[in-house]
Amino acid sequence: MTDRKLLVTAALPYANGHIHLGHLVEYIQTDIWVRFQKLRGNPCLFVCADDTHGTAIMIRARQEGRSESELIADMQAAHERDFAGFGIAFDHYGSTNSTENYELCKDIWQSLRAADLIAERDVEQLFDPVAGTFLADRFVKGTCPKCNSEDQYGDNCSKCSATYSPTDLINPVSTLSGATPVTKSASHLFVQLEKQHAFLEEWTQSGEHLQSEVANYLKGHFLGNPLRDWDVSRPAPYFGFEIPDSQNNFWYVWFDAPIGYIASTWQWCKKNNESLADWWRSDKTEIHHFIGKDITHFHTSFWPGVLKAAGYSLPKFVHIHGFLTVNGEKMSKRGGTQFQASTYLKHLDPAYLRYYYASKLGPKLDDIDMNLTEFVNKIDSDLVGKVINLASRTARFAEPLGLSIEYPHDGGLFAAGAVAGERIAQAYEQLDYSRAMRLIMELADQANAFVENSAPWTLKKDATQQVRLQEVCTIVLNLFRQLCVYLAPVLPRLSQQCGQLLQAELIHWDDSQTPLVGTSISKFEHLLQRIAPEKIQAMIDESKEAVPVVEPTAPAASAPAAVADSGDALLQEPLAPTCTIEDFTKVDLRVARILKAEEVPEAKKLVKLTVSLGGDNTRTVFAGIKAAYTLEQLQGRLVVIVANLLPRQMKFGLSEGMVTAAGPGGTEVFLLGIDSGAVPGQRVH
RNA sequence: CGCGGGAUGGAGCAGCCCGGUAGCUCGCGAGGCUCAUAACCUCGAGGUCGUCAGUUCAAAUCUGGCUCCCGCAACCA
């Protein structure tokens, strides 16, 4: 056994939303690895924290009419509840909004200054005069100054890969208020990452810290060009930490978020009288980050660059996983497949999900699919039918007898299982959990075959065979126990139950290497239920309903029993600022008839519509409703269009208007209809 | 030629790095058992491993071309 000391982190969940099953892929994957390491006897610290800063939190708090600290406290409590419900055993769960984090930010900041990595220059930034705030990159959209692609975010063009500042955008619009931002100058601070280029090249390409796909990706995408300066400050107002040597400037949320990994460790150290340096400034400690593929770039370039400059340990490995799809498709709220952690827990046992994910997870970045039929199958046949069944088949026979004093001859089954343990351990170590689960199920199959051949139920009826019966049960229960050890990282409760049943706690991986003898046996109780299909349906149904808001306001006592629409939609897209009737009349909404709806073969979202405003007045409109409506459904129907919208050149042609619809997009688009009697050309007032 | 991943019996996957009897789970068919949460055991049907070519005594596995699919990214005025 190696003598390693490990520090493990999972990505910090953002305090702007609840945990759903997609997030849990990561936390379960990480938790399994941590539990595995601990079971192997390796000192291992698992830290995480809520990511609490940034414009999004500020805006949301404003919308909910309360302070940021209230918002993040509530969300943190909800997150911790969800994690606990799934048995995610953090050693410490902190918050980026902590004094420790502030101290560390200061410290690291000074190091960056000392290393001459910080540049300061004035930035013309867009300011939303309505919302009263500077606009983060993702809150501004406009036309790319380089290639004139429209609808680009504020920091870079997805079309031509040009990078620029939001003020360079042509026709910028605030996505917060819809207002036209004004340009305001403010001093910004940058980390000059290019100065770390050689180091990052070496670190990412060494083959020791990243999956090969990731290293290739970075090589092809970023390392070939000079690395951009990273703008790490935001002018007030901003919810975050004010930068000590730069008044009215705050660290950008992405600056202090990963430092939260260290801060959370520090908080744990303080509680446990340990030195932070032993964990973050010692080459004896291996640091492992687990993240999703969406934040790859950040964790593999900026973060190592900062750590290096500030003299902290670099991650030994950044483990990157894919996303979760449900029944082969992206999770969708409307389809009822974006399951919130709390919703799942109301209906189903967390052990199911832990095992299911384990059986699907490999070391690659592939997305994993949650197929609900397969989910039920795997739990029922693998867990209940194979593993648990071993105990069910023998524990009651063995109850009055206890385990034999000596481990009987079993034809080498236990020894073979013990040997297989090494391969299983290797699979866990390499994050190839699906392989580990396959190996474990092979052992379970062999054990069940042994039960079959030994027929304890026959032995039981023969008074002269009681010794043999005890032997058979001793063997089977030991095989079961061995499997429980191997499954302990995935199913901690099961291993605990096994310990109670056989009256010997499972505490170390090596418990799988020696048979247990001579103990008595507790009364057998069912260890795990099969999945009731109606529970799955109940979860889907509940998920279809709107996702609950953080703090549901208590309904007024005398409120009439009306339809209880949730406030979620409004929260997703807040009300625009008040406009005058003059503003409104600028928009000319007209009834139009769809004469022709045509497929645009290369387009994924668009359909080409020819609409009539009556008479000869027809025009072409492209609408992003391909996934929501069939061509037949559209043909001939009346819609409401924005008729005086500036025509827009799109990839497939000129669009001369906009069809009105509600909904977030994708399959969730709902066209505005109009009561019968209306005719094309009539204006909507 | 935007980046990455994939195509293996009805479904989902393993095997590919390190060429040499194509394996697992579910489903399906037949039989067995009755201890177990309608669980378990045995046997069987079903695959020219996307396609074309190359290397080789030998290719699912190596090399190249092609087709299709999925993420990300894009076209949701």
Indicate yes or no: strand B within 7 A of the C-beta of A207: no
Distance CA A451, CA A307 (A): 56
Residue pair A546/A568 in contact (Cβ under 8 Å)? The answer is yes
Cα(A645)–Cα(A656) distance, rounded to whole angstroms?
A: 7
Whether any strand B atom is under 7 angstroms from the Cβ of A284: the reply reads no
| Closest nucleotide over all strands to A171 (CA to C1') | B77
Q: How far is the CA of A148 from the C1' of B72 (A)?
A: 23
Residue A224 has pLDDT above 90, yes or no: no
| Residue A363 beta carbon within 7 A of nucleic strand B | no
Per-residue pLDDT, A12 = 93
Asked if residue A374 keeps its beta carbon closer than 7 A to nucleic acid strand B, the reply is yes
Instruction: Output the distance from A237 CA to B62 C1' rounded to whole Å.
Output: 60
A80, HSE (Cβ side, Cα atoms, 13 Å):
17
- The nucleotide lying nearest A455 (C-alpha to C1') is B35
- Could you read off the pLDDT of A23-34 as tens digits, one per residue? 999 999 999 999
Written as one letter, the residue type at A269 is C
pLDDT band at A684 (very low <50, low <70, confident <90, very high): confident
CB of A668 within 7 Å of some strand B atom: no
3-state class (DSSP) for residue A658: strand
Strand blocks (E) in A339-489: 368-370
Q: What is the dihedral of CA A29, A33, A39, A43, to 10 degrees?
A: -130
Distance, Å, A458 CA → B59 C1': 52
Give me the CA A531–C1' B9 separation in Å, rounded: 29
Distance, Å, A154 CA → B73 C1': 16
CA dist A432 and A564 (Å) reads 45
**Whether the predicted pLDDT of A561 surpasses 70:** no
Higher pLDDT, A274 or A22: A274
For the beta carbon of residue A653, count every other beta carbon within 10 angstroms. Answer: 14
User: Per mean pLDDT, which of A433-447, A541-555, A588-602 is the most reliable?
Assistant: A433-447
Write out pLDDT tens, residues A67-108: 999 999 999 999 999 999 999 999 999 999 999 999 999 999
A 416-445 residues, CB < 7 A, strand B: 434-435, 438, 441, 445
Q: What is the reported pLDDT for A549?
A: 36
A115 touches strand B (CB under 7 A): no
pLDDT of residue A627: 67
What is the model's pLDDT at position A552?
A: 30
Q: Distance in angstroms, CA of A393 to C1' of B40?
A: 9
Mean pLDDT of A390-395: 93
Q: Tens digits of per-residue pLDDT, A105-136?
A: 999 999 999 999 999 988 777 788 877 777 76
Task: Report the distance from CA of residue A453 to the C1' of nucleotide B30 in Å, as an integer.
Answer: 21
Predicted pLDDT at A155: 59
Containing H/E element for A36?
A: helix A21-39
Q: Which pLDDT does position A180 carry in this prediction?
A: 81
Percent helix, strand, coil in chain A (nearest 5)? 45, 20, 40
Average pLDDT over residues A180-185: 82
pLDDT of residue A522: 93
Give residue A496's pLDDT band: very low, low, confident or very high (50, 70, 90). Answer: very high
The helix-helix angle for A413-429 and A21-39 (nearest 10°) equals 120
Contacts by residues A567-572 (CB-CB < 8 Å, ≥ 24 positions apart): A571/A60, A571/A63, A572/A664
**pLDDT bracket for residue A243 (50, 70, 90):** very high
Task: State ipTM.
Answer: 0.85
Residue keyed to tokens 């974006």: A338
Read off the pLDDT of residues A130-178 as tens digits, 9 standing for 90 and up. Answer: 777 777 666 777 666 665 656 666 655 544 445 556 667 777 777 667 7
For strand B, which residues in window 531-590 of chain A come within 7 Å by CB? Answer: none
At A557, the pLDDT band (50, 70, 90 cuts) reads very low
Query: Does residue A321 lie within 7 Å of nucleic acid chain B, judged by its CB?
Result: no
Check if residue A150 sits with its Cβ under 7 angstroms from strand B.
Answer: yes
- Pick the range with the lowest mean pLDDT from A346-355, A408-417, A582-591, A671-680: A582-591
Chain A residues 293-312 within 7 Å (CB) of strand B: 293
> Comparing A122-126, A293-297, A491-495, A566-570, which segment has the lowest mean pLDDT?
A566-570
Q: Is nucleic acid strand B under 7 Å from A173's C-beta?
A: yes
Question: Any atom of strand B under 7 A from CB of A616?
Answer: no
Question: Nearest nt to A382, CA vs C1'?
Answer: B25
Predicted TM-score of the model (pTM)? 0.79
Q: Tell me which of A264 and A596 has the higher pLDDT.
A: A264
Q: Which nucleotide is nearest to A660 (CA to C1')?
A: B77
Q: Is the CB of A208 under 7 A from strand B?
A: no
Decide: CB of A377 under 7 A of nucleic strand B: yes
Distance from CA(A322) to C1'(B62), angstroms, rounded: 29
What confidence tens digit (pLDDT) does each residue in A301-311 have?
A: 889 999 999 99
Residue A640 pLDDT level (bands cut at 50, 70, 90): confident
User: What per-residue confidence (pLDDT) applies to A50?
Assistant: 94
Nearest nucleotide to the CA of A605, by C1', is B76
pLDDT at A246 over 70: yes
How do residues A507-525 score in pLDDT, each as one tens digit?
A: 999 999 999 999 999 999 8
pLDDT exceeds cutoff 90 at A273: yes
- Contact flag, residue A648 CB and nucleic strand B, below 7 A: yes
User: What's the CA gap between A614 and A626, in Å, rounded?
Assistant: 25
Q: What is the mean predicted confidence (pLDDT) over A54-65? A: 85
Cα separation, A328 vs A324, in Å, equals: 9
| A359 CA vs B29 C1’ separation (Å) | 28
The average pLDDT across A443-452 equals 90
Q: Are A74 and A129 in contact (CB under 8 A)?
A: no
Q: How far is CA A97 from the centre of its chain?
A: 21
CB of A449 nearer than 7 A to strand B: yes
Which is higher by pLDDT, A574 or A681? Answer: A681
Query: Which nucleotides of chain B have an atom under 7 angstroms from any protein CB?
Result: 3-6, 11-14, 24-27, 32-37, 39-42, 70-77
